[in-house]
């Protein structure tokens, strides 16, 4: 097989069906500087080709591509993991566990676990420097998501209402967006000054141009930012002062949630928000392969412990999407 990297989903499926290609891709993402022993850290372990595992020449122990990674203890073969990762990285509006299950031939429950692990990798987007360096200005806004309380069973309803946020059982997502740049979004409890202003201060360079609507919670930011307010009761755009960039992100987020997922509990919402932010932030200047590789390095570069996965596994029992 010629060793040209895939550019489409179909090519990816074919390419990673070759066990050596799949192993090579994950190894490259995990150990860019060369394979190291997962038990003692020694360099240049022996590769046992027939079994596709490594053996350390120092501590004599063996390890596989999955050892001490998010793939540990997963019986799912690498080609299915890579196909699922490709789909999650590149499906614009998100992809449900049902679709993944059908596409790669696993149960819906298994697909949900896979999706869950991959989503955790997407949370890395929050790290990095503050927004606003480009001088393009930063928008801050918040929106309400969800609220289908009428369709729930009574017990489920009681549980959800208890943890509800915002009016009518809706959850709140707040975000900052550097125009022409990246978004950082977060699920918040209430539209209080402390929460919204903390989001701004944690993520936006002081003195940046900052645009918001007339929500009182944003009052006081003008001491640290060149803050301009557009009062949506009067107008939506005043010259440069608008939050249209975030309106665009909200519509993508809502389209993803409403169109792809059966239901999203407020409890799980942050995962979908992170997923959509990842896609939004990597929408331009990247090929499908680039996005896939970026996501893959997040998955395998993140040392998720088995316990953490099992711990978070409990909540998955009730998951519907």
Residues at the interface with Zn ion (CB under 5 A): 37, 39-40, 42, 56, 58-59
Angle at CA of residue 36, ends 65 and 49, nearest 5°: 50
H or E segment and range at residue 187: strand 183-188
Q: Which is nearer to Zn ion, 9 or 36 (CB)?
A: 36
Q: Which is nearer to Zn ion, 47 or 236 (CB)?
A: 47
User: How far apart, in whole angstroms, are the C-alpha atoms of residue 67 and residue 165?
Assistant: 40
User: How far apart, in whole angstroms, are the C-alpha atoms of residue 66 and residue 23?
Assistant: 10
User: For the chain, how many residues are written?
Assistant: 321
Handedness of CA 9, 10, 13, 14 (dihedral sign): negative
Handedness of CA 113, 117, 122, 126 (dihedral sign): positive
9 token code pair: 């989903």
DSSP designation for 87: H
Closest distance to Zn ion from the beta carbon of 57 (Å): 8
Closest distance to Zn ion from the beta carbon of 66 (Å): 17
Asked if residue 177 lies in contact with residue 139, where contact means CB atoms within 8 angstroms, the answer is yes
DSSP codes of every residue in 201-253: HHHB-TT-EEEEES-GGGTTGGGTSEEEEE-TTT-S-BTTB--HHHHHHHHHH
Strand, coil or helix: what is 317? coil
């Amino acid at each position: 097989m010629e060793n040209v990297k895939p550019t489409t989903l179909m090519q990816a499926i074919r390419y990673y069906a070759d066990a050596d290609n799949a192993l090579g891709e994950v190894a490259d993402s995990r150990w860019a500087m060369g394979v190291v022993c997962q038990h003692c850290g020694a360099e240049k372990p022996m590769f046992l080709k027939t079994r596709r595992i490594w053996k350390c020449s120092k501590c004599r122990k063996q390890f596989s591509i999955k050892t001490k990674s998010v793939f540990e203890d997963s019986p799912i073969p690498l080609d299915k993991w890579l196909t699922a990762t490709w789909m999650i990285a590149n499906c614009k509006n998100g992809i449900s566990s049902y679709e993944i299950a059908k596409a790669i031939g696993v149960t819906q429950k298994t697909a949900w676990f896979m999706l869950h692990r991959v989503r955790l990798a997407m949370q890395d987007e929050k790290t990095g420097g503050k927004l606003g360096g480009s001088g393009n200005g930063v928008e801050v806004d918040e929106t309400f998501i969800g609220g289908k309380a009428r369709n729930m069973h009574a017990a489920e309803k009681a549980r959800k209402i208890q943890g509800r946020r915002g009016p009518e059982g809706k959850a709140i997502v707040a975000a900052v967006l550097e125009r022409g740049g990246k978004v950082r979004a977060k699920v918040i409890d209430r539209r209080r000054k402390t929460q919204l202003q903390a989001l701004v201060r944690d993520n936006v360079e002081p003195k940046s141009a900052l645009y918001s609507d007339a929500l009182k919670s944003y009052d006081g930011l003008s001491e640290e930012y060149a803050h301009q307010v557009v009062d949506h009761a009067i107008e939506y755009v005043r010259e440069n002062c608008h939050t249209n960039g975030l309106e665009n992100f909200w519509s993508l987020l809502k389209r993803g949630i409403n169109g792809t997922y059966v239901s999203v509990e407020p409890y799980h919402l942050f995962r979908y928000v992170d997923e959509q932010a990842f896609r939004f932030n990597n929408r331009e200047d990247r090929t499908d392969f680039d996005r896939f590789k970026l996501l893959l390095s997040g998955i395998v570069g993140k040392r998720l412990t088995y316990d953490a996965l099992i711990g978070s596994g409990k909540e998955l029992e009730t998951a519907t999407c």
